Structure 1
Amino acid sequence: MNDLNMDPKPHYMKWQVIALLDFVTIISFENIFYPFQNQGLSVVVSWIFLLFAYVIPYELIVSQMSLTFDNQSGGLASWVRHGSNDTLGYWTSWMYWIQSVPYIVDVSNSVIVSFSWIIFGNNSLDRRMSTFSFGLLTFVIILIFILLENVFKNSLEVLSLIGGGAMFVMSVLFVLLAGYAVTHGAHIATQPMNWAAFKPTFSLKYFSTTGLLIFAMSGAELAAPYIVQMRDPKHEFPKAMWLLALMTAFLTIFGTLSLAVFFNANHIPHDFKMNGPYYAFHLLGQSLGVGKLLMYIFAVVQAIFMMAQLAVLLDASSRVFAGDVADKFMPKWLTKTNKNGRPIHSYTMTTGLSLFLLLLTGTLPNINTIYNWLLNINGIISPYKTCWVFFAFIAVRWQDKKFHSEYTFIKNRTGALLVGGWCLAFTFVCATLGFIPQEAAFGTKLFDHQLLLNFITVIVLFGMGFVMPILRKHEINKELN
């Protein structure tokens, strides 16, 4: 018998699964709520502008970079390392990994909120639970998921399919049913709903909140380490990115218009970012005569979706962190893997830094403020990380003759460099403006407190990156002696 027939059949990930996997990590139904609260109906113009001037170029850049380095396990870190040098590759891997920590805490918070709506059926979580209990429960959820990551195989793909698919269905359902409600006599809450209502007001607050839009739409490069699991990456990966862009466009533009049906864009509830999605499905259910049914269905889907995000984040970010980092920068103990190939000590550091963030949130007055502050932190740190995508693209296109890709975004070198440079500059400026607190008035104690927390968080999370090479150098000296 031919031994080749005994080889197990290879398992390939379909491009639709890759798109859903990225959809899980990039944007969800709740991601349209905080931009709506920050910018009102004018955010529709922001979404459309970003779609064509930023999102589509971004995701096609990811396609080219992923196919240029399709044999590298480190994803974005590999792109920068091979396009420039080991030092910048290290900083990319560190920033990519560290930006996931606030998001992990934020997603864990969302898991608690979703279960509170399933159990209580209302927005009473802030009254029922202290900030200490909220932080403790968040920490427990993170620990549980880290343990589950190392017990269940294929949990990533299964949860992504269930969570991403169900959330996209619920998002489409909300838009379609909102349209149905309007055509059958439902009153539109935002008045007047004319062209003037969509006109952006260009101010410091407007630009300081744009980082959250970038945070909501970025993350396509998380799929890069999984490109080796595709049957035909050359044709399938760009398809996945286009599908991702279409899903993102549908949710952001039509989802926002649907919100304007049920909420007055000029008078939005103060806890809209935390509880808005549940309010939305509650109001939709009332307009259709089914009471709280849709709200409970959404709460269950949201819980599954958020748990899927935790699975993806804990798996993919740790793979990037340990996958392709120069030996001289990272301590051996941090990149050590267990018998399942998991970088177990990077999970330990994730837990410790999550605890640090939770201690900071304990200084804030209530759960709603904690929820909003963590969102704003993500609007700073995540765009700074995204800058490396465009830096890597510029570095590769600058050295066109050195690198070959099965797919090329903008064949003209000058045009490619201009687009990459625009995306890099825009992302960096929006991230920097994100330091300005968005939920507190200038000059108040809460504004000063949140501004201080923003700087402390960024300095500690990014500053830890300076510590790792020092520890590695000490480790090498110890080995030599």
Structure 2
Amino acid sequence: MIEEKDKNYMGWVTLSMFVYLTVISFEDPFYPYQEYGLFVLVLWLFMLVFYQLPYTLIATQLGMAYDGEEEGGMSSWIRRGTGNDLLGYATAWMYWAQTIPYLIDCASSVVVSVSWVVLGNKSLGDKMSPLVFSLLTFAIVLVFIIFDNVVKNALDATSLWGGIAMVVMTLVFFVMIIWSLTHGGHIATKLTWDNIKPHLSVHYFSSASMLIFAMSGAELASPYISRLKKPGRDYPKAMWLLFIVTAGMVILETLGLAVLFDAKHIPNDFKMNGDYYAFQLLGQEAGMGNSLMYMYSIVCLVTLLAQIAALIDAASRFLASDTTAQFMPRWFLKKTKTGRPINSYIFTAATTLILVLLGGTLPEINDFVNWLLNLNTIVSPYKTSVVFVCFLILRYKHKTFPKGQYVFIKNRKLALGVGWWCFLLTFICATMAFLPQNGVVGSANWFKQLWMNIVVVIFLFGTGLVLPLLRKLEVARDKRKAEQ
């Protein structure tokens, strides 16, 4: 009774905001707007109804079906669904691997955000080399690894307030758009057929995974189900709130971007600086100078720091999960007194350093930022495809469910059809994304990014094979010692 009373519960709104921070950021709608123009509004609506909604509810069923008692999350789902511990380990590794590029992306965005606060403009690329930029990015990751291990309950506080702050800034953005239109502002990209119609090409399809990347991550909530006071009631509520906030954000932002920016003349550094351009334009139109941009920069900075804390915590917990004990050396699974997997944090830092140094070889900071985004649109959707594999396994093996358990689509055949649709769309888009989304096709820089994509993906996913080998050597050594 005392333990139940003293347990540190997480509110369902806090959980929703925590996941929201890692599912989509304010700047995420800027990326596909540069690639697709106003046609992206059609794509968002299609993806929200036919992909994001089923994805969120599939993650809800998986989380409730496996009750959240094991902290492995997705790796626990596949291990318990197949009875194969090796697949559980491989899934945990994939989850960790795909988190690293996103972690670096968030850290690099912190550097960009600070530069706007300090400089008040986009001149960062003129004052800093890509290598220095990459090293600063790594320094931020390192600081937060230490922060995440030292500050108690930092995750809850930063997630809640960071998420709320970004929702508020999204509303401010939309309100300022309305203010601009009612005070003589002009619409840069009007809602006409000429602006909405698609221009199909290989580039269109290779960029499609950008939408999936922007909306993926709902399964991140699953390891925290046990921290909810009433999981059966609160978890579905948290997931529905996640979907509603995500849907509202991408639709409102896309319409706002159409007001501010001509989709046919987007700045080359729009993915890196587009959100700052937006608030700068709105502030200047309202006679506020750069004050609105500075306000956004500070909120963005706080939100990014919250994202980094959440990603480091979640990635390390997935890696040192219930599926890994027999496939990783004991030293790797060592935990601190507070239950933190300390050596997996160190391993995360080392891998981050390798990737930022590789990115630092690109010609410009803008190239580095764009490459990180491209890399995320490969590895993140590959991870997401495993969520649908877990769902398919669950629905193939379980024809009946305990009374009261959450079920997404009770008709089994329809549920399997939706699961296969989501899996195939995700996997195909992730594979197409290996083609670089920036630079002139066939140029030296384009080919460099292509081989970087291939090498890094092989490195991130392939290094997972090394630890089981070390574990085998450890077991053999222990056996020899026991025999002596």
- Is the Cα–Cα contact under 8 Å of residues 133 and 360 in structure 2 kept in the other structure? no
What are the residue-to-residue correspondences of 1:179-198 with 2, within 5 Å? Answer: 179-190=178-189, 192-198=190-196
Render the CA deviation track for 1:225-280: whole Å, top value 9, x for unaligned: 11101122112211111111111111111101101111110000000000111000
In 2: Cα distance, 1:474 partner to 1:359 partner: 31
What code does the residue aligned with 2:228 have? M
CA distance in 2, matches of 1:158, 1:242: 21
> Do structure 1's residue 120 and structure 2's residue 82 form an aligned pair?
no
Corresponding residue for 1:57?
A: 54
Say whether the 8 Å CA contact 2:385–2:423 is kept in structure 1.
yes
| Cα separation, 1, equivalents of 2:70 and 2:360 | 40
Q: Is the contact made by 1:222 and 1:317 (CA closer than 8 Å) also made in structure 2? A: no
Partners of 2:365 and 2:440 in 1: CA distance:
19
What's 1:17 paired with?
Answer: 14
The separation in 1 between residues aligned to 2:236 and 2:202, in whole angstroms, is 36
Asked if the contact 2:399–2:412 (Cα under 8 Å) also holds between the matched residues in 1, the reply is no
**Inter-CA distance 373–229: structure 2 relative to 1 (3 Å threshold):** same
2:350 corresponds to 1:355:
no
Q: Describe the superposition over 1:145-192 as per-residue Cα deviations: whole angstroms up to 9, x where unpaired.
A: 0001111011001001111110011011101210221122101122x5
SS in 2 for 1:290: coil
**Is this contact kept in 1: 2:41–2:251, CA < 8 A?**
yes
Cα displacement (A) at 1:5: 6.0
What residue number does 1:409 align with?
A: 408
Report if the CA contact (8 A) 2:135-2:357 is conserved: no
Structure-2 separation of matches of 1:218 and 1:280: 25
Letter in 2 for 1:215: F
Contact in 2 for aligned 1:65/1:393 (Cα 8 Å): yes
Residue 30 (structure 2) pairs with residue 33 (structure 1): yes
Residue 317 of structure 1 pairs with residue 354 of structure 2 = no
Spell out the pairing of 1:26-175 with structure 2 (5 A cutoff).
Answer: 26-70=23-67, 71-84=69-82, 85-175=84-174
Matched-pair identity in %: 50
Whether 2:368 is the aligned partner of 1:370: answer yes
Aligned pairs for 1:236-275 within 5 A = 236-275=234-273
Offset at residue 7 of structure 1 (A): 6.8
CA 1:182/1:361 → structure 2, altered by over 3 Å: closer, same or farther? same
Aligned-pair RMSD on alpha carbons?
A: 1.4
What's the secondary structure of 2:264's corresponding residue?
coil
SS of structure 2 residue aligned to 1:143? helix
- Quickly say closer, same or farther: Cα 1:6–1:321, change in 2 above 3 A: closer
Superposition deviation, residue 11 in structure 1: 2.9
Change (3 A) 1:415 1:402: closer
Amino acid at match of 1:36: Y
For 1:11 and 1:5, locate their aligned partners in 2 and report how far apart those are by CA, in whole Å. 12
Aligned pair count? 477
Matches within 5 A, 1:213-362: 213-362=211-360
Structure 1 alignment gaps of length 5 or more: none
Partner residue, 2:388: 390
- What secondary structure is seen at the aligned counterpart in 1 of 2:150? coil
d(CA) in 1 for partners of 2:256 and 2:347? 41
Return the alpha-carbon distance in structure 2 between the equivalents of residues 108 and 42 of structure 1: 30
Q: Which amino acid aligns with 2:363?
A: P
Bigger Cα displacement from structure 2, 398-407 vs 55-64? 398-407
Q: Following the alignment from structure 1 to structure 2, what is the Cα–Cα distance between the partners of residues 135 and 447?
A: 20
Change (3 A) 1:5 1:323: closer
Whether contact under 8 Å (1:178, 1:261) holds in the other structure is yes
Cα deviation for residue 365 of structure 1 reads: 0.1
Deviation at 1:196, TM superposition (A): 3.2
Contact 1:171-1:251 within 8 A present in 2 as well: yes
Q: Write the letter of the residue equivalent to 1:360.
A: L
Distance 1:298 1:380 in 2: 29
SS at match of 1:99: helix
Counting only pairs closer than 5 Å after superposition, residues 202-217 of structure 1 correspond to structure 2 as 202-217=200-215
| Separation in structure 2 between the aligned mates of residue 15 and residue 77 of structure 1, nearest angstrom | 23
Partners of 1:349 and 1:402 lie apart in 2 by 42
* TM score, norm. by length of structure 2: 0.96
Structure-1 separation of matches of 2:360 and 2:287 = 41
Distance 2:345 2:303 in 1: 21
